[in-house]
């Protein structure tokens, strides 16, 4: 009985056009990153968000488009505190300022600021759990910014020279 219900559900979803989210197609096969710090988490998120058809090259001269990172910053600020000066709420802010260039240096997309902000409640008694929650929020924020960058890459015209 359960198997029939599962099959019926799958058939219904397939019939309505449901499909898992796929990476967006970009009109480039070779991309270079410039300006990231070594082992930057944002660079790793971008690499993961790119479709498998895109190869990230180390040399900008070999790339069809160059993503230059002008700023990659995470800030953590206190938003609310108790009367005893204990932190009650934090604000996480992830900023990525970038521009897209052709290999010869021509700017394809001028400097653009992408930003994510999340509020996080905080309790000293659960500091370890809140650190884990903060790390998970930052990972989700980076993944969202990476999807936005891939969308920006997808809107560029590959033939524009």
Cβ-contact 69, 98 below 8 angstroms: yes
- The answer as to whether 132 is a domain residue is yes
What's the whole-model pTM score?
A: 0.78
How many domains does the chain contain in total?
A: 1
User: In terms of residue numbers, what domain contains 75?
Assistant: 21-155
Burial of 11 (0-12, 13-18, 19+ CB in 10 A): exposed
14 has pLDDT over 80? no
Would you say residue 29 lies in a domain?
yes
pLDDT average, residue stretch 102-127: 88
Does residue 16 sit within a domain? no
pLDDT digits (tens, 9 = 90+) for 52-105: 899 999 999 999 999 999 999 999 887 676 777 677 788 899 999 999 999 998
More confident residue, 7 or 48: 48
Residue 161 lies in a domain: no
CATH code for the domain in which residue 121 is found: 3.30.160.150
Classify residue 59: in a domain, yes or no.
yes
Question: How high is the mean pLDDT of the chain?
Answer: 85
Rounded to an integer, what distance in angstroms lies between the CA atom of residue 46 and that of residue 144?
10
């Amino acid at each position: 009985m359960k198997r029939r219900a599962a099959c019926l559900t799958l058939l219904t979803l397939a019939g309505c056009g449901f499909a898992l989210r796929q990476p967006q197609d970009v009109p480039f096969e070779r991309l270079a990153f410039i300006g990231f710090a070594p082992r930057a988490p944002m660079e790793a998120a971008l690499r993961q968000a790119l479709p498998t058809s895109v190869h990230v090259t180390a040399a900008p001269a070999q790339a069809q488009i160059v993503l230059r990172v002008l700023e990659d910053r995470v800030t953590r600020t206190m938003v609310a505190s108790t009367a005893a000066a204990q932190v009650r709420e934090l604000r996480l802010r992830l900023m990525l300022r970038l521009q897209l260039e052709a290999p010869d240096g021509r700017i394809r997309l001028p400097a653009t600021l992408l930003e994510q902000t999340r509020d996080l409640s905080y309790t000293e008694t659960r500091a370890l759990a809140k650190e884990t929650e903060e790390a998970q929020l930052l990972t989700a924020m980076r993944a969202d910014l990476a999807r936005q960058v891939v969308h920006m890459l997808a809107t560029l015209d590959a033939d524009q020279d």
